[in-house]
Amino acid sequence: MTEDRPDASGTREQILAVAKDLFEAQGYANTRISTIVEGTGATKGALFHYFKSKEDLFQTIWERLQGEMDAEARANAVAARSLKDPYAAFLAGCRTYLQWAARRDYQQIVLIDGPSVLGLAGWYEADNDLGRQNVSAGIRYLARKGIIDGRRTAALSVLVHNALNGAGFAMARGEAGVTVESVLDAFEAVLKSLR
Amino acid sequence: MTEDRPDASGTREQILAVAKDLFEAQGYANTRISTIVEGTGATKGALFHYFKSKEDLFQTIWERLQGEMDAEARANAVAARSLKDPYAAFLAGCRTYLQWAARRDYQQIVLIDGPSVLGLAGWYEADNDLGRQNVSAGIRYLARKGIIDGRRTAALSVLVHNALNGAGFAMARGEAGVTVESVLDAFEAVLKSLR
DNA sequence: GCGTCATACATACCGAGGGTATGTGACCGC
DNA sequence: GCGGTCACATACCCTCGGTATGTATGACGC
């Protein structure tokens, strides 16, 4: 997350775009560097000029995706905070996150290959200040409003965050009975009952 | 899941044992086949005699781990079913699963590398994802008892299963405020409120 | 008791693919 | 107009998963 998104037409940006498509479609391990550079017209030299390894390239894409999701979730959460009902604000944030978790690119890159490539520590470290923090902030917000027990925020944040992640997977697979609406419905029922 | 656990001292079993340790400690991608065979005293020929690829070896270990967890979860679920309180029975199953989700080997092999190596399809192959099946069975059990809304079982199963997975990770990291007890406490509070 | 065949490995080798070392043209400050 | 840096290109290396092949051992029919 150093300097991002320079001129979107440069070689570096092309590499990132092609690599992201391939990582999403075939997964990290099945994507060859030669295939990436073929898709850009450049050569391996260019790729290794901008990224010190395949892993570094992956991480850059990973961070960018997380950043985009984070920005959208934050924006929606702030917008919804003006609503009177605290639930509505929190649910708005969760809906945003859920929609991201249902995206193919987010699933394959962030949720599937992320932990494996970056390692448990790295994944958590980076994920901690993004998706997780959004959920955590929402939970603590509900606690401040006196809606849920303040002593349970840590555990609840973890439970809720991962529940949403997993729901994204299930939705994308078209698993029977699992849609954005049904998940949000169940999710809302659970939250509301916490009162 | 064809024939498992023959004589536990044979070459094949040795390979499985050493490979499991390495996969757990370093992850699938960072584990070299040469390192595995070095640890057994055998050669690559032996390994490829028993397993048709590194991926096949991994999958065998993956299935075995899942099988062990499943056996324990089933045993505990059956035992707890004699309890009068349906919640207690379900929570007993969840506790079992939570403890597995907090184990290093289960995390690295099943939860982290599993999706990446086996692919999204393989991972969610219904009869493979035993963790999911166990949670789902518990949820449907509660629905039959009229405790939760029967129309929400699918979505709830997904939410609960992944909530527990994530909690396992958080616990393993020693994250503040996240322990078996705190998680089960929060979890119980949520479940109870669903009545 | 001998040929046949399968099992259980060992050894040698191959090729793909990630990474590196090095070259080179363009531009830029001075 | 020259040294230096940037943005790549080319050629090469080396690890590592996988394969092809050899071989010792025991079972089994006859």
Q: How far apart are CA B117 and CA B123, in angstroms?
A: 9
CA angle A191, B69, B182 (to 5 degrees): 35
Phi, psi of B82 (to 5 degrees): -75, -15
CA angle B8, B106, A100 (to 5 degrees): 150
Interface mutation target, options B159, B185, B194, B195, chain A, most CBs of A under 10 Å = B159
Q: How far apart are CA B5 and CA A104, in angstroms?
A: 38
| Three-class secondary structure assignment of A61-130 | HHHHHHHHHHHHHHHHHHHHHCCCCHHHHHHHHHHHHHHHHCCHHHHHHHHHHHHHHHHHHHHHHHHHHH
Model pLDDT, residue B152: 86
Model pLDDT, residue A7: 52
Contacts with B83 (C-beta within 8 Å, 6 or more apart), sequence order = B89, B92
pTM surpassing 0.95? no
Name the residue facing A190 among B161, B167, B190 (closest C-beta): B190
- The protein residue nearest C8 (Cα–C1') is B46
pLDDT in tens, chain B (195 residues): 434 444 556 999 999 999 999 999 999 999 999 999 999 999 999 999 999 999 999 999 999 999 999 999 888 877 887 777 777 888 888 889 899 999 999 999 998 999 899 986 666 665 567 888 888 888 898 899 888 888 889 899 989 999 998 888 888 888 887 888 888 888 888 887 776
Q: How far apart are CA A15 and CA A8, in angstroms?
A: 11
Residue with the larger pLDDT of the pair A194 and B109: B109
Name the DSSP letter for residue B43: -
With CA of A51 and C1' of each nucleotide, the nearest comes out as C19
Model pLDDT, residue A128: 62
A:2-41 Cβ neighbours of strand C under 7 Å: 31-34
Q: How far apart are CA B165 and CA B111, in angstroms?
A: 8
Asked if B125 has any chain A CB less than 8 Å from its own CB, the reply is no
Q: Give per-residue pLDDT as tens, A159-178.
A: 988 898 888 878 877 777 78
